[in-house]
Amino acid sequence: MNILKTILPGVVIIEPQVFGDERGFFLESYQKERYQEAGIPLEFVQDNHSRSGQNVLRGLHFQISKPQGKLVRVTAGEVYDVAADIDPESATFGEYVGVLLSGTNHKQLYVPPGYAHGFCVISETADFQYKCTDYYDPADEGGIIWNDETINIDWPIKEPSLSDKDKVNQTLKAYAESLK
């Protein structure tokens, strides 16, 4: 397993060891002790799986008072995945990390609690799976608009398909103001 640090504290890209031959492949998608040694110390309590069509963009999401860490991967298809720093006290506030995750590159992204997370689907469909460090609570969900000018994410799609909820997410500046 190869761990790649990013510009955001705690956000890492994980390249698992893949064993493959003409029959297919095998990889270990999670092993508690190895991941803790790699700097992912929290326990995971919930696994989620979503399937989305091409040009779907989900995010940028976060839990407000019960932040979730997420270990994300794609098992089929291809997405551009993003973690954004939304902590006004952080030295990297407003910065983001983006990585291509796919069913063929097997990369994972760990997004620690306190970051906003989102992804867009590049392939015809994508199966997105993630482990969470806290339980999802719809009453505790927050969001930053996908095309926020402060974060300025260079999404590989220009006209995404958004949920009604994601169309009206707040800006990063408005979110930071709400914390004062």
Among 35, 96, 110, 130, the active-site one is: 130
Length of the chain: 180
The predicted pLDDT at position 137 comes to 94
Query: Which candidate in 61, 80, 115, 175 is catalytic?
Result: 61
Q: Is 49 a catalytic residue?
A: no
pLDDT at position 9 is 95
The C-alpha atoms of residue 60 and residue 136 are separated, in whole angstroms, by 15
Q: What is the pLDDT of residue 28?
A: 86
Contact 12, 40 (CB under 8 A): yes
- What residues of the chain score a pLDDT lower than 50? none
Reply yes or no on whether 136 is catalytic.
Answer: no
